[in-house]
């Protein structure tokens, strides 16, 4: 599958569609790579579904794909998943947030800091420091709409 993903074409997407729900992590990752190469919209949809997959390697590949095509709809979907997720899924989502920075994720990071799991809290604190160092030092100010959205999100 990995070889076909590298040298295949759009015509091979039907083959990848058949194997994307395979039991093997390598096969799923190859299928995601192929979709990302030939049909990015489909790769994005599949990645959203696979963000909660039990295999970390598959979740990581999903994060890689989503990080390149992130928009507000993805953030809303991921936020909904985060609330009821296990420790491992929350870590994956926090990795997604760290790859997509800016002002959109500030509220999400603050939610992580207040998580009931101390390991998630610690990751949240590390992310908050990294966020501050990166985004605040760029001398950017948040658009008022983003700031209001983040405050409303925190208050829910």
- Torsion of the alpha carbons at 126, 131, 132 and 137, rounded to the nearest 10: 140
What digits encode the pLDDT tens for the residues 95-152? 999 887 677 788 889 999 999 999 999 999 999 888 877 766 656 666 676 667 767 7
Instruction: Delimit the domains of the chain by residue range.
Output: 1-69, 72-156
- HEC-encoded secondary structure of the chain: CHHHHHHCCHHHHHHHHHHCCCCCHHHHHHHHHHHHHHCHHHHHHHHHHHCCCCCHHHHHHHHHHHHHCCCHHHHHHHHHHHHCCCHHHHHHHHHHHHHHCCHHHHHHHHHHHCCCCHHHHHHHHHHHHHHHHHHHCCCCCCCHHHHHHHHHHHHC
Query: How many other CB atoms are found less than 10 A from the CB of residue 141?
Result: 10
Q: What is the pTM of this model?
A: 0.78
What digits encode the pLDDT tens for the residues 74-104? 888 998 999 899 999 999 999 999 887 677 7
């Amino acid at each position: 599958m990995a070889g076909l993903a590298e040298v295949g074409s759009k015509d091979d997407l039907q083959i990848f569609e058949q194997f994307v729900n395979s039991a093997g992590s390598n096969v799923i990752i190859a299928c995601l790579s192929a979709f990302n190469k030939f049909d990015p919209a489909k790769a994005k949809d599949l990645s959203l579904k696979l963000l909660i997959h039990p295999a970390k390697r598959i979740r990581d590949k999903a994060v890689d794909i989503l990080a390149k095509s992130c928009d507000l709809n993805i953030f809303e979907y991921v936020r909904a998943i985060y609330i009821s997720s296990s420790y491992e899924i929350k870590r994956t989502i926090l990795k997604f947030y760290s790859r997509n920075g800016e002002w959109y994720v500030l509220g999400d990071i603050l939610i992580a800091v207040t998580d009931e799991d101390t390991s998630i809290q610690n990751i949240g604190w590390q992310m908050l420091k990294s966020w501050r160092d990166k985004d605040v030092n760029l001398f950017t100010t948040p658009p008022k709409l983003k700031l209001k959205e983040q405050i409303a999100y925190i208050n829910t």
